[in-house]
Chain A
Amino acid sequence: MPPINFNDIEVLLPLIILVIWACLLLLVDLFIPKKHKWLTALLAAFGLALTLGFTLSQLGSESNGFCATGKPSICMVVLDGFSVLVNALLLLTGLLGVALAYGYLKRMGIERGEYYTLMLFSISGMMLMAQASDLIIVFLALELLSLPLYVLSAFARSNSDSQEAGLKYFLLGAFSSGFILYGIALVYGATGSTSLSQIFEIASVGTSSLLLTIGAALILVGLGFKVAAVPFHMWTPDVYQGAPTPVTAFMTAGAKIAGFAALLRVFGSAFPNLSEDITPILWALSAATMIVGNLLAIAQTNIKRMLAYSSIAHTGYILMAFVPYGNPEVAPVSIAAGLFYLFAYTITNFGAWGVVIALEQKESKGLQISDYAGLRRKYPVLAGAMTVFMFSLIGFPPTLGMVGKFYLFRAVLSGGYTGLAIIGVVTSLVSAFYYLRVVVNMYMFAGEPKTDNEFWLRFTIAGAALVTVVFSLVPQGLFAWASRAVLKLF
Chain B
Amino acid sequence: MEFFLQPLTLVTFFPLLGVLLLFFLPSDKKNLLRWTAMGFTLGTLGISLWVLELFNAPNPHLQLVAKYDWITVAGWNIQYHMGVDGLSILLLLLTTFLTPISIFSTWTAVEERVKEFMIFFLMLEIGMVGVFLAQDLFLFYVFWEFTLIPMYFLIGIWGGPRRIYAAIKFFLYTMAGSGLMLLALLGPGIEGKTFSLPDLISSGGIPTNTQFWLFLAFTAAFAIKVPMWPLHSWLPDAHVEAPTAGSVILAGVLLKMGTYGFLRFNIPLFPQAAVDLAPWMALFATIGILYGAALAFAQSDVKKLVAYSSVSHLGFVILGLFALNPEGISGAILQMFNHGISTGALFLLVGMIYEQTHTREIKVYGGLWKITPVFGTVMLIVALSSMGLPGLNGFIGEFTILLGAFGSTAINNPWYAGLSALGIIMAAIYILTMFQNMFLGPEGSIVEELKKRGHVLRDLNRREIIIMIPMLIFIFWVGLYPKPFFDLIGPTVDNLVAALQTTTLALP
**From residue B217, how far is it (CB to closest CB) to chain A in Å?**
10
Q: A234 interface residue, CB < 8 Å from B?
A: no
Asked if A260 is an interface residue, CB under 8 A from chain B, the answer is no
Q: Which residues of B contact A429 (CB under 8 A)?
A: 172, 175-176, 179
The stretch of A41-49, A171-179, A472-480 that contacts the partner chain: A472-480
A-B contact pairs, 15 of them (CB 8 A): A336-B74, A396-B146, A397-B145, A398-B142, A410-B186, A429-B172, A432-B172, A432-B175, A440-B156, A444-B156, A444-B164, A475-B71, A476-B72, A480-B74, A483-B73
Q: Are B182 and A406 in contact (CB under 8 A)?
A: yes
B33: chain A residues at CB < 8 Å are none
User: Once the chains are docked, how many angstroms separate the CA of A429 from the CA of B169?
Assistant: 12
Select which of B74, B116, B171, B187 is within 8 A of A413 by beta carbon: B187
Which of B70, B71, B148 is packed against the most chain A CB atoms within 10 Å? B71
How far, in whole Å, are A333 and B183 apart by their CA atoms in the complex?
Answer: 17
Q: Determine if B186 and A476 form an interchain contact, defined as CB atoms under 8 angstroms apart.
A: no
Q: A410-B186, A479-B76 are in contact. Are A425 and B145 (CB under 8 A)?
A: no
The answer, yes or no, to whether B364 is at the interface (CB within 8 Å) is: no
Q: Are A479's CB and B74's CB within 8 A?
A: yes
A409 at the interface (CB under 8 A from B): yes
**How distant is the Cα of A391 from the Cα of B190 in the complex, in angstroms?**
26
| Contact A409–B183 (Cβ < 8 Å) | yes
Residues of A within 8 A of B145 (CB): 396-397, 402
Chain A: CB-nearest residue to B145: A397
**Interface check B508, CB cutoff 8 A:** no
Is there contact, CB below 8 Å, between A443 and B149?
no
Who on chain A is nearest to B158 by CB? Answer: A444
Chain A, range 406-462, C-beta contacts under 8 Å to B: 406, 409-410, 413-414, 418, 421-422, 425-426, 428-429, 432-433, 436, 440, 443-444
What residue of chain B has the Cβ atom nearest to residue A472's Cβ?
B142
Whether A397 lies near B175 (C-beta < 8 A) is: no
Q: Are A480 and B73 in contact (CB under 8 A)?
A: yes
Known: A410-B190, A433-B168. 15 other contacts (CB 8 A): A333-B74, A397-B145, A406-B141, A406-B182, A406-B186, A421-B186, A425-B180, A425-B182, A432-B171, A433-B172, A443-B157, A444-B157, A444-B163, A479-B74, A480-B73
Cβ–Cβ contact B187 & A443, under 8 A = no
B75 within 8 A of A: yes
Pair A414/B179 contact, Cβ less than 8 Å: no
Chain B residues within an 8 Å CB radius of A440: 156, 164, 167-168
In the complex, chain A residues 189-213 whose Cβ is within 8 Å of any chain B Cβ:
none
The interface residues of chain B lying within 8 Å CB-to-CB of A444 are 156-157, 163-164
Q: Does B153 contact A (CB under 8 A)?
A: yes
Compute how far the CA of A413 lies from the CA of B75 in the bound complex, rounded to whole angstroms.
14
Contacts of B146 in A (CB 8 A): 396-398
Task: Give the residue name and chain of the A residue nearest to B191 (CB).
Answer: A414
Residues in A neighbouring B73, C-beta threshold 8 A: 476, 479-480, 483
Is the Cβ of B153 less than 8 Å from the Cβ of A443? Answer: yes
Q: A409–B74 contact, CB under 8 A?
A: no
CA distance A475 to B71 in the complex (A): 7
For residue B296, give the distance in angstroms from its CB to the closest CB of chain A. Answer: 30
Complex: chain A residue closest to B181, CB-CB: A425
| Docked-complex contact B71 and A476, CB < 8 angstroms | yes
- Interface residues as binary, A77-93 with B (CB distance below 8 Å gives 1, 0 otherwise): 00000000000000000
Tell me the bound Cα distance from A443 to B158 in angstroms.
11
A interface SS class: helix
In the complex, whether B189 has a CB less than 8 A from a CB of chain A is yes
Q: Point out the residue from A336, A396, A425 that lies within 8 Å of B183, measured CB to CB.
A: A425
Q: Which residue of B lies closest to A441 (CB)?
A: B164
Number of A-B contacts (CB under 8 A): 82
Contact with A along B317-342 (1 / 0, CB 8 A): 00000000000000000000000000
Which chain B residues lie closer than 8 Å to A426 at the CB level? 179
Mask, B59-98, CB within 8 Å of A = 1, is 0000000000011111110000000000000000000000
User: Which partner residue on chain B sits nearest A376 by CB separation?
Assistant: B116
CB contacts (< 8 Å) of A414 on chain B: these are: 190
CB distance from B220 to the nearest CB of A (A): 11
Is the CB of B138 closer than 8 A to any CB of chain A?
yes
Compute how far the CA of A397 lies from the CA of B76 in the bound complex, rounded to whole angstroms.
18
Q: Which residues of A contact B72 (CB under 8 A)?
A: 476
Which B-chain residue is minimally distant from A414 (CB atoms)? B190
Q: Check if B168 sits within 8 Å of A428, measured CB to CB.
A: no
Q: How far is the CA of A337 from the CA of B272 in the complex (A)?
A: 33
A443 CA to B156 CA, complexed, in Å:
8
Least Cβ distance of A480 to chain B in Å?
Answer: 5
Measured between alpha carbons, how far is A62 from B152 in the docked complex, in Å? 49
A337 closest partner in B (C-beta): B74
- Among B130-173, those with CB < 8 Å from A are 138, 141-143, 145-146, 148-149, 152-153, 156-157, 163-164, 167-168, 171-172
Interface centre among A391, A429, A479, by most B CB within 10 Å? Answer: A429
Q: What chain B residues lie within 8 Å of A482 (beta carbons)?
A: 74
| A-B CB proximity, top 8 nearest | A483-B74, A425-B179, A397-B142, A480-B73, A479-B73, A414-B190, A410-B186, A397-B145
Complex Cα–Cα for A429 and B168 (A)? 11
Collect the chain B residues with CB atoms within 8 Å of residue A397's CB.
141-143, 145-146
Q: Which residues of chain B come closer than 8 Å to A376, judged between CB atoms?
A: 116
Of A333, A410, A428, A479, the most chain B CB neighbours within 10 A belong to: A410
In residues 26-85 of chain A, which contact B (Cβ within 8 Å)? none
In the bound complex, residues from chain B placing their C-beta under 8 Å from that of A406 are 138, 141, 182, 186
B186 and A413 within 8 A (CB): yes
Q: Which among A396, A443, A476 is the interface contact of B148 at CB below 8 angstroms?
A: A396
Chain A residues closer than 8 Å to B176, beta-carbon distance: 429
| Interface pair B179/A436, CB less than 8 Å apart | no
Contact A409 B182, CB 8 Å, known A391-B149, A444-B157, A483-B73: yes
In angstroms, Cα B372 to Cα A119, docked, is 73
Q: For residue A476, which residues in chain B have a CB less than 8 angstroms away from its CB?
A: 70-73
- B90-120: which residues lie under 8 A (CB-CB) from chain A? 116
Q: How far, in Å, is A378 (CB) from chain B's closest CB? A: 13
- Identity of the chain B residue whose Cβ is nearest the Cβ of A381 in the assembled complex: B23
B171 CB to nearest chain A CB (Å): 6
Min CB–CB distance B24 → chain A (angstroms): 12
Of all chain A residues, the one with the shortest Cβ separation from B139 is A397
**Minimum CB–CB distance for B78 against chain A, Å:** 9
Give the CA-CA distance A88 to B186 in the complex, in Å.
30
B3 → chain A closest CB, angstroms: 13
A264–chain B nearest beta-carbon distance, Å = 17
Distance of A414 Cα from B74 Cα, bound (Å): 13
Per the 8 Å Cβ criterion, residues 389-404 of A in contact with B are 391, 396-398, 402
Q: Taking CB as reference atom, which chain B residue is nearest A405?
A: B182
Chain B residues in 8 Å Cβ range of A398? 142, 146
* Cα distance A338–B180 in the bound complex, in angstroms: 21
A376 to B156, CA, bound (A): 14
B186 and A409 within 8 A (CB): yes
Closest to A426 in B: B179
Are B149 and A479 in touch, CB under 8 angstroms? no
For A436, the chain B residues whose CB sits under 8 A away are 152, 168, 171
Q: Give the chain B neighbours of A433 by CB distance below 8 A.
A: 168, 172
What string of 1s and 0s marks CB contacts (under 8 Å) between B40-71 and chain A?
A: 00000000000000000000000000000011
